[in-house]
Amino acid sequence: MSIFGSMKTAVSGMNAQANRLSTVADNIANVNTTGYKTVSTSFSSLVLPSSGGNYNSGGVQTSVRQAVSDQGDISYTTSGTDLAISGDGFFIVQGADGTPVLTRAGDFTKDDEGNLVNAAGFQLMGYSYDSGSPAVVVNGFDGLVPVNVNQEGLTAVASTSGVFKGNLDSNANVVSVASTLPSANGTTTTADTKKFSMVAYDTLGNKVMYDFYFTKTSVTTPPPATGTASTWEVSIFRNADAATGGTTSFPYTTAGGDVGTTTLEFDSTGKITNSTGPVTITDPVTGLSIDMDLSGFTQLGADFAGTGTPNGQAASPVKDVTIDGDGIVYAKYEDGSTKPLYRIPLANVASPDKLTLMSGNVYSANGQSGVTVTGFPQTNGLGTIKSGALEGSNVDLAGELTEMIESQRSYTANSKVFQTGSDIMDVLVNLKR
């Protein structure tokens, strides 16, 4: 047996316990760090070859393990820009150098430019809706921009399309006199015509109201005689051009009369059968061209009913910014309408515990972790984003205190081995004297 060997083994033991104590210290220091993941020390023996009755003591090696894949507790806050991930995945953020990295720390707040930045100064990245609904780049970070929620001033969006659906009463009378149809824009119409109105928006965000008139124009009994099929005329006028001072809105003063017209045909079960496509509202005053989808109408033995949902937006200031579980960042306007601004993706790797830990509680991929795969929340196994919440560290404080005591005792025991070896060396040196 080598006395020097036993002393070297004791030194390796002290170094190993010092590494273990370092990870414990890091964990305890970051027990309240948002999204922090526990690190621990693993030990493996180092064996030196021995021969005969002589034994050569080896030592111990350490390696650091990360519990990145372990979920931390989620706590709710009062800030809508605080984000937590429930499940797998990481936020994509970038530092001052512009390099994208991964993190679970979602304590984002607005900086002086309106960008969402976490406590370590990393900017949250997302896809913009400026060019329409974004598509994810699954194998890279191309197309990502800093998420900026500094939406100031008024915003207006002109209406270009809409959906109008409801029910037309199958018991309504047929109007066969052409001069009394709304499309004739005469002085009178019959009580059998049903009127609905809908609000749209021009390019300046002004409200533009349109009047929709539905009139049954014919009824047929197809063979076999199991019911009747009907045809309805739909005429659309500008409400602002309606007549005033009379008993009806007719005649409208719009040049050319109606701004849109079509027919709806229903079968004997009340389902629409013709597929002429949406009716286009062509407004000569505002210049709007709005495609209205009427395919959701039915003709059943019930009261008239209708509801419309045109797109567009009135001139309204931004009141708040909200983020949903799919990662879509919405601007919420004072009039109650919303508009998508960004969509926040998540990224993941095959082995999260092998990621390279960097300062600021961020990670980068390497050869052991696998390549980074990007996707939207709740797709391809990725988790859900929770707004107004934060993921805490997954440190078990009681366990760390136990580890600290064990490390202290092991370090002391190894130092005793070293001290004993040193005492034996003194005996050997004194044999010469």
Strand partners, 126: 145
- Sorted by sequence, the CB contacts under 8 Å of residue 85 that are 6+ apart come out as 91, 104, 106, 346, 377, 383, 384, 385, 386, 391
pLDDT value for 48: 76
pLDDT value for 161: 95
Question: What does the alpha-carbon distance between residue 144 and residue 127 come to, in Å, rounded to a whole number?
Answer: 5
Question: What does the alpha-carbon distance between residue 335 and residue 313 come to, in Å, rounded to a whole number?
Answer: 9
pLDDT value for 224: 53
Tokens 């922090």 map to which residue?
A: 36
Coil, strand or helix at 360 = coil
pLDDT value for 276: 67
pLDDT value for 3: 81
pLDDT value for 314: 83
Question: What does the alpha-carbon distance between residue 299 and residue 302 come to, in Å, rounded to a whole number?
Answer: 8
Residue type, 361: N
Cα–Cα distances in angstroms (integers) from residue 241 to residues 59, 182, 185, 228, 244, in the given order: 94, 14, 12, 36, 9
pLDDT value for 221: 67
Coil, strand or helix at 171 = coil
pLDDT value for 227: 57
| Dihedral sign (CA 203, 208, 214, 215) | negative
**All structural domains of the chain:** 3-67+394-430 (no CATH), 74-154+317-391 (no CATH), 159-311 (2.60.98.20)
Question: What does the alpha-carbon distance between residue 397 and residue 400 come to, in Å, rounded to a whole number?
Answer: 5
Helix or strand (DSSP H, E) at 427: helix 397-430
Run means of pLDDT, 10 residues per run, the chain, 433 residues: 80 92 94 94 82 77 91 93 95 93 94 92 94 87 92 80 94 89 85 91 93 92 64 94 85 90 91 84 95 93 91 83 91 82 95 94 93 93 94 94 94 91 84 71
